[in-house]
Amino acid sequence: MLVNSPMLSPCPFSKGYTIPAAQAWSLLKGFYAYRLILACLFLIFFYSRLGAVLISTEKTQLYLYVSGFYFLFACAACVMVLYKKVSYAAQAQSAIFIDIFLITLIMHAAGGISSGVGALMLVTTAAGGLLVGGRCAMLFAALASLFVFAEQAYTFRVEGFNSAYYAYAGMLGAGFFCLAFLSYILAKRTEQSELISSQRKETIVSLEELNQYIIQNMPSGIIIIDQQQRVTSYNEASPRLLGEESLANTLLAVSVPLTLAFNNWLMDPHKNFVIISTSEQVELQVHFNSLPTKHALFFMITLEDVALYKQRVQQSKLASLGLLTANMAHEIRNPLGAISHAGQLLAESPDLAAEDVRLTEIIQTHALRMNLIIEDILQLSRRKDSRRECIHLKPWLEEFFIIFEAENPEHQNKFFLSFEEEIQDILFDSGHLTQILNNLCENAIKYGSAKT
């Protein structure tokens, strides 16, 4: 691609003008081919009858020598541009300068500016704008104008004055500058357009690679088929979900139930959702979609494991249930706080009987228990990140049971620690581990029995 080629700046006076190397060499080869054809035409014109009429006798030898040298130089230049032994800048600048000089001599030998040969330098100055550009293009246009006026000055000195030829020379010089400038602008715009096109092409290629990567790594299977139900492409998840190493060329060879479901969808496009079973008794959820393109119609089949779908649905339900539970816990805490506060005020009454005091203690105990349950529910709904720490398990367990028996004096001497071998240290959240062991011990007390 041109965008990956090194950039050239052929002329040391050209600022801000660079063209891709591959494009530059192609343009230079085309210009050299034109020069070779032009040199051949000069020689053919010399040996034709028209040349004998238009070329004066005293300038015939000059025309022949210059045309022959131009032909030899054009041949040598074609060889040089093919092997690229000389730098691009040297070849382009030398070719344009020699063309201006030799075409001026041929114009003089062919009868001066009135012969029309000088118009050929318009092509040379245009090539300077395309191949070199910048200030060099203006420099070559100035040289061409200077050579034309020099030829006119020489002709005036030797053959006499002709004002019409000076006016023509001035217009020709103005044409050199205009054409050089326009060709430079055209080359600059072409360069910018090609760079933008190359950047867009790179962007499109990157997006295609990204899309391909995303499709290939999707957990869902995607199969693309044409109107003849031939499999044109599929991602890596498709054969895995179907229990195959790779998919066959036709949909019927891939799966008969899938083919039947697809045919039913073609007859009734509203039934684009179906559940099928594979040979390994795996349930797949299948969706069908049409993919119309400019030249053909394709179909996309999406495969999804029902188990994964149910798992996502279950996770969504659990998330909703957790949110609902947290909201309910907040709503229960407010009246519970009012009940606990009322129980405290009632217990402080001096006229309360002993039986009623016992009832207030029961209210406070169960209110505290309900508050702890609500705290546990809120703790689960918040899902705080665990903080792992190194726990020396043996001394930690001994300390845990000392604290547990102190908090539950009615259950002392019901748990015994026994270490059969050396216990390794563990990385765990001490708070979570305490909560787990508390639940296990409470369940053991509540639902278990002492071993006799």
Question: Residue 278 corresponds to which amino acid?
Answer: T
Q: What percent of the chain has pLDDT over 90?
A: 1
Q: What is the mean pLDDT of residues 65-76?
A: 89
Q: How confident is the model at residue 415 (pLDDT cuts 50, 70, 90)?
A: confident
Which residues is 290 bridged to in the sheet?
A: 299
pLDDT above 80 for 321: no
Mean confidence (pLDDT) of the chain: 78
Q: Whats the size of the chain, residue-wise? A: 452
User: CA 417 from chain center: how many Å?
Assistant: 62
* pLDDT tier for residue 412 given thresholds of 50, 70 and 90: confident
pLDDT per position as a tens digit, 111-149: 777 777 888 888 888 887 777 766 777 888 888 888 888
Is pLDDT larger for residue 328 or for residue 6?
328
Confidence of residue 348 (pLDDT cuts 50, 70, 90): confident
Q: Taking residues 255-283, what's their average pLDDT?
A: 83
Q: pLDDT by residue (tens digit) across 366-411?
A: 788 787 777 777 766 665 566 778 888 888 888 888 887 777 777 7
| pLDDT score for 383 | 57
Bin 331: left if φ > 0, else alpha if -120 < ψ < 50, else beta.
alpha
Instruction: Write out the chain in H/E/C secondary structure.
Output: CHHHCCEECCCCCCCCCCEEHHHHHHHHHHHHHHHHHHHHHHHHHHHCHHHHHHCCHHHHHHHHHHHHHHHHHHHHHHHHHHHCCCCHHHHHHHHHHHHHHHHHHHHHHCCHHHHCHHHHHHHHHHHHHHHCCHHHHHHHHHHHHHHHHHHHHHHHHHHCCCHHHHHHHHHHHHHHHHHHHHHHHHHHHHHHHHHHHHHHHHHHHHHHHHHHHHHHCCCCEEEEECCCCEEEEECCHHHHHHCCCCCCCEHHHHCHHHHHHHHHHHHCCCCCEEEEECCCCCEEEEEEEEEECCCCEEEEEEEEEHHHHHHHHHHHHHHHHHHHHHHHHHHHHHHHHHHHHHHHHHHCCCCCCHHHHHHHHHHHHHHHHHHHHHHHHHHHHHCCCCCCEEECHHHHHHHHHHHHHHHCHHHCCCCCCCCCCCCCCEEECHHHHHHHHHHHHHHHHHHCCCCC
Per-residue pLDDT tens for 88-109?
888 888 888 888 888 888 888 8
Backbone φ and ψ of 172, nearest 5°: -65, -40
Q: How many CB atoms lie within 10 A of CB 180?
A: 28
Task: Please compute the mean of the pLDDT values over residues 7-32 and round it to a whole number.
Answer: 63
Residue range 173-219, pLDDT digits in tens: 788 888 777 877 777 777 788 788 888 888 888 888 887 887 777 77
**How many Å apart are CA 251 and CA 225, to the nearest integer?**
8
Q: How far apart are CA 98 and CA 93, in angstroms?
A: 9
Cβ atoms within 10 Å, residue 31:
24
**Cα–Cα–Cα angle for 89, 91, 95, nearest 5°?**
120
pLDDT reported for residue 13: 42
17 or 86: whose pLDDT is higher? 86
Q: Which two tokens stand for residue 51?
A: 């040349």
pLDDT of residue 10: 47
Per-residue pLDDT at 194 = 75
Residue labelled with tokens 């499709």 = 215
Closest CA to 92 of 42, 133, 40, 39: 133
Predicted local distance difference test score (pLDDT) of residue 1: 29
For the cut 80, the answer to whether the pLDDT of residue 164 exceeds it is no
Q: Specify burial of residue 159 (Cβ count, 10 A radius: 0-12, 13-18, 19+).
A: exposed
pTM of the complete model beyond 0.75: no
Query: Hunting for tokens 């816990």 — which residue is that?
Result: 329
Quick check: 70 pLDDT over 80?
A: yes
